[in-house]
């Protein structure tokens, strides 16, 4: 589990009326319809695809898209479960793990491609960045190797070498030769499931391949530290957010 259902990004709230936003449906190349949320920054510049954790699209990621828009970036947050859960609204008791286990690397790639195409409508050369969390963190790095022509791929507490998650997928470390953009990793230093030792080979492989990247560990921070409820890690969250914005500004 990443965030609780009542978690929120640890960022100053934005007046909802200040940013144009909507829920809408995207259609992947395989014909799957899936839920999405769009917030518009209004400057026509770089754009962001937000990749949620295992719960899929819910309020945390909708608010995060609004926060990107407030910074001037159009953002689309997507759901993973159009193939198995459809478009129906879900409650807080949604049993997501059976759907997570049915996701595939190809399915996620199709969904991200649809979001990227939507953001590039009218401007095929537009810079697009992916930003993901946990399951979405590793999914974000996978998209760097999936032919979208991304400007950067950013992952919070993703695992670089967890094969079979999504179902049948190799760990992203095995796809180093296909990565086509800079990588940013933002990690909890006290995350027992994704330790510095687990991430070091990914860092080293990116270095050997000459891929521009930055891996940052926040000492003492747990998995999913980027949460308004974790007041004791507010400084780490602020630093992580500034790094995200700086990485996008530099590469996109």
pLDDT tens-digit series, residues 52-86: 999 999 999 999 999 999 999 999 999 999 999 99
Query: Quick one: pLDDT band at residue 16, thresholds 50, 70, 90?
Result: low
Residue 52, in any domain of the structure: yes
Average pLDDT (208-235) is 94
18 has pLDDT over 80? no
Q: 122-147: string of b/e by CB count within 10 Å (b at 16+)?
A: eeeebbbbbbbbbbbbbbbbbbbbbe
For the entire predicted model, the pTM comes to: 0.95
Q: What percent of the chain has pLDDT over 70?
A: 97
Distance CA 126, CA 105 (A): 24
Average pLDDT (235-248) is 97
pLDDT score recorded for residue 223: 95
Angle between helices 105-119 and 135-143 (to 10 degrees): 70
**Helices (DSSP H) in the chain: which residue ranges?**
59-70, 97-100, 105-119, 135-143, 196-208, 234-251
Token pair belonging to 119: 């953001």
153 has pLDDT over 80? yes
Residue 227, in any domain of the structure: yes
Q: Which domain holds residue 30?
A: 16-251
Residue 48, in any domain of the structure: yes
pLDDT score recorded for residue 127: 98
Residue 8, in any domain of the structure: no
Dmax over Cα atoms in the chain, in whole Å?
Answer: 47
160 has pLDDT over 60? yes
Residue 230, in any domain of the structure: yes
Q: Please choose, from the candidates 70, 69, 71, 50, the residue with its C-alpha nearest in 3D space to the C-alpha of residue 60.
A: 50
pLDDT score recorded for residue 5: 72
Q: Please choose, from the candidates 18, 105, 9, 14, the residue with its C-alpha nearest in 3D space to the C-alpha of residue 58.
A: 9
Query: Do residues 133 and 69 lie in contact, with contact meaning Cβ atoms separated by under 8 Å?
Result: no
- Partners of 67 in the β-ladder: none
122 has pLDDT over 90? no
Average pLDDT (207-231) is 94
- Partners of 38 in the β-ladder: 22, 76
Distance CA 74, CA 58 (A): 18
Residue 5, in any domain of the structure: no
Q: How many structural domains comprise the chain?
A: 1
Token pair belonging to 74: 């159009």
Residue 1, in any domain of the structure: no
pLDDT score recorded for residue 63: 95
CATH of the domain at 236: 3.40.50.1820
Average pLDDT, the chain: 94
237 has pLDDT over 80? yes
Residue 90, in any domain of the structure: yes
């Amino acid at each position: 589990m990443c965030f609780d259902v009542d978690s929120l990004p640890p960022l100053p709230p934005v007046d909802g009326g200040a940013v144009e936003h909507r829920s809408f449906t995207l259609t992947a190349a395989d014909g799957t319809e899936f839920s999405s949320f769009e917030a518009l920054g209004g400057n026509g510049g770089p754009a962001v695809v937000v990749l949620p954790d295992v719960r899929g699209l819910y309020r945390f990621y909708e608010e995060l898209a609004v926060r990107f828009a407030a910074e001037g970036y159009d953002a689309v947050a997507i759901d993973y479960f159009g193939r198995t859960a459809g478009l129906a609204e879900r409650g807080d008791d949604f049993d997501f793990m059976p759907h997570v286990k049915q996701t595939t690397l190809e399915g996620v790639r199709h969904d991200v491609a649809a979001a990227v195409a939507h953001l590039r409508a009218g401007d095929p050369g537009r810079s697009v960045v992916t930003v993901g969390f946990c399951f979405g963190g590793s999914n974000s790095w996978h998209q760097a190797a999936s032919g979208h022509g991304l400007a950067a791929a950013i992952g919070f507490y993703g695992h670089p070498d967890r094969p079979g998650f999504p179902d049948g997928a190799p760990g992203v470390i095995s796809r180093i030769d296909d990565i086509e953009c800079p990588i940013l990793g933002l990690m909890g230093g006290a995350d027992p499931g994704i330790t510095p030792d687990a991430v070091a080979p990914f860092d080293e492989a990116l270095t050997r391949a000459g891929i521009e990247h930055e891996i940052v560990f926040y000492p003492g921070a747990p998995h999913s530290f980027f949460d308004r409820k974790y007041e004791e890690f507010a400084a780490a969250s602020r630093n992580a957010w500034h790094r995200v914005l700086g990485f996008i500004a530099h590469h996109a």
